[in-house]
Amino acid sequence: MNRKGVPKNVDEYLARVPEPARSTLNKIRAVIRSAVPPEATETISYRIPAFRYKGVRVWFAAFSDHCSLFPTASVIEALKKELEGFYTSKGTIHFPTDKPLPAALIKRLVKARVADVESKKRH
C-alpha cells in the first residue's frame, strides 16, 4: 500500500488501497456502518480506518493478501467458534480478498464489540 503519510480520513485511506482489497474494505466499511449505532463516526486511528463510538471500537485495514478487522481480543475470544476457518491472532481476523466476505459474521463481531463496551459502562 502507498504510504504517503497518515491519511486524513477513511476515503483518503481507501483511495490508496489497490483492488481487490479496496472493494473488500468498502464492503467491510458498509457492514460496520450497519452494525454500529447511528452516532458512530469514522476516524483514522493507528494510521488505519476505525469507527468511534464512545471511543474507538473497531478498526479495519488492507494488507498485501488480505483485509483485517480488529474488533479486540475479547470479541475474538467470545466468538472463536464462529471464526474457525479464518486466520486470527490476538486482536485481528484476516479475510482473504479472493473469497466472499462473511458479512453476517462481521456484523456479529461489530455488534459484540459495541455490546461489550455498553456492558462495561454499566459496571
Residue type for position 109: L
pLDDT digits (tens, 9 = 90+) for 46-68: 999 999 998 999 999 999 889 99
* Rounded Cα distance, 51 and 27, in Å: 14
Q: What is the DSSP string of 6-23?
A: --SSHHHHHHTSPTTHHH
| Coil/strand/helix, residue 41 | strand
pLDDT class of 2 with cuts at 50, 70, 90: very low
C-alpha cell at 70: 480488529
pLDDT digits (tens, 9 = 90+) for 18-51: 999 999 999 999 999 999 999 999 999 999 999 9
C-beta atoms surrounding 77 within 10 Å: 11
| Coil/strand/helix, residue 35 | helix
pTM: 0.90
Q: What is the DSSP string of 53-104?
A: SSSEEEEEEE-SSEEEEE--HHHHHHTTTTTTTS-B-SS-EEEETTS---HH
